[in-house]
Amino acid sequence: MRTRTVALSLSLTLIVGCAGNGEGLDDNGRPTEEGEGGGLSADFDSIQSNVLTPICTTCHSGAAAPLGLRLDEGASYALLVNAPSTEVPGLLRVNPGDPDSSYLIQKIEGTAEVGGRMPLGGSPLPAETIAVIRQWILEGAQAPQSSGVSPSKLSAAWPIEGTLSRNAPAIVIASERELDTSLFQAGTLTVTRSGGDADFANGNEVQIDARIELRSLSPTVLAITAPPGGWTADAYRLRVSGSSPLAVTDLNSVAIDGNADGQAGGDFELNFSVEESK
């Protein structure tokens, strides 16, 4: 059974930005055509290949991504679309259908009320590039393409293994494509606290009433936030059922590949710890 162990602070915040040094732009300040899809177009795969990966991941990648905003492939969509901003709490990073109220657009256009223009310290994205990102959002911020052939894997877009800041965001779990979200109402996603001994087999575990928010339907992206009163300092285990008696499935009733062995079935587990704020 696959597990990941991370540390998560009691303070949960979100911020958006795309730090970089302008790499990935040609002599005219436009994205190079090195992405898989060639020139930039208004779909997420192209935006990832031509903008996010060559420019934004200079800073926003891996466990060291500022305040948990990973813009590397496989995590960026889950952490952008319908994800709230902390700098301006009333705005989403990407609000599908509404680029003007998307904090990402405000940051790359330099119109945000808080903080500097992104890429921070680098060349501003050209108007043509911003227009393409605007178009993608206006058309509903559609997800990356997925073949849908093999069982859908789950991953933790945030947190991932590594050292986290005390201002870590909510736990974000992403599927490769759309899942039957009605199954999450049947207790197939659980968060358990160890009871103070970092052991989940002693009988003193406590099930946590954490809030589950659906951020994206296709692919399915879930944000799990602290229960009322916040997290208690302890070790935790998040589990999504991929096996009997009830498994989370895709829309074709195929169970998730929870343990990432290439086969349908198996539970997805994420172990993390919460530390008291200093």
State the pLDDT confidence band at 272, using cuts at 50, 70 and 90.
confident
What is the DSSP track for 37-99? TSS--SSHHHHIIIIITTTGGGTS-STTSGGG---STTTHHHHHBTPBPSSSTTSBSB-TT-G
Residue located via tokens 């256009």: 109
* Cα–Cα distances in angstroms (integers) from residue 43 to residues 12, 141, 173, 184, in the given order: 30, 8, 22, 29
Omega prior to 245 cis, within 30 of 0: yes
Which of residues 240 and 65 earns the better pLDDT score?
Answer: 240
Q: Cβ atoms within 10 A of the Cβ of 195, count?
A: 15
pLDDT of 65 reads: 81
Question: Could you tell me if residue 258 is inside a domain?
Answer: yes
> Backbone dihedral region of 236: left (phi > 0), alpha (psi from -120 to 50 degrees) or beta?
beta
Question: Could you tell me if residue 175 is inside a domain?
Answer: yes
* Cα–Cα distances in angstroms (integers) from residue 238 to residues 129, 156, 185, 265, in the given order: 39, 10, 15, 17
pLDDT of 233 reads: 84
pLDDT of 225 reads: 87
**Interior CA angle at 9 toward 8 and 14, to 5°?**
90
As given in the structure block, the two tokens for residue 225 are 């936030």
pLDDT of 169 reads: 61
Q: Which of 10-19, 38-47, 135-144 is predicted least confidently?
A: 10-19
The Cα–Cα gap between 215 and 276 comes to: 28
Question: Could you tell me if residue 55 is inside a domain?
Answer: no
Number of domains in the chain: 1
Grouping H, G, I as helix, E, B as strand and the rest as coil, residue 138 is helix
Task: Report pLDDT digits (tens) over 107-159.
Answer: 999 999 988 899 988 999 999 999 999 999 999 999 887 655 689 999 998 88
Grouping H, G, I as helix, E, B as strand and the rest as coil, residue 135 is helix
Q: Is the pLDDT of residue 222 over 60?
A: yes
Question: Could you tell me if residue 37 is inside a domain?
Answer: no
Question: Could you tell me if residue 60 is inside a domain?
Answer: no
The Cα–Cα gap between 142 and 95 comes to: 11
Task: Report pLDDT digits (tens) over 262-271.
Answer: 999 999 999 9
The Cα–Cα gap between 166 and 9 comes to: 5
Task: Report pLDDT digits (tens) over 159-197.
Answer: 876 444 444 568 999 999 899 999 999 999 999 999 999
As given in the structure block, the two tokens for residue 249 are 């499935």
As given in the structure block, the two tokens for residue 262 are 């290439």
Helices (H), the chain: 44-47, 76-80, 103-109, 127-138
Question: Could you tell me if residue 4 is inside a domain?
Answer: no
Q: Cβ atoms within 10 A of the Cβ of 36, count?
A: 9
Task: Report pLDDT digits (tens) over 67-106.
Answer: 678 999 989 999 999 999 878 888 999 999 999 999 999 9
Question: Could you tell me if residue 229 is inside a domain?
Answer: yes
CATH number for the domain harbouring residue 191: 2.60.40.1220
Q: Which domain holds residue 240?
A: 148-275
Phi, psi for 268 (deg, rounded to 5): -90, 130
The Cα–Cα gap between 171 and 158 comes to: 6
pLDDT of 2 reads: 45
Question: Could you tell me if residue 21 is inside a domain?
Answer: no
Q: Residue 47 gets which letter from DSSP?
A: H
Q: Residue 248 gets which letter from DSSP?
A: -
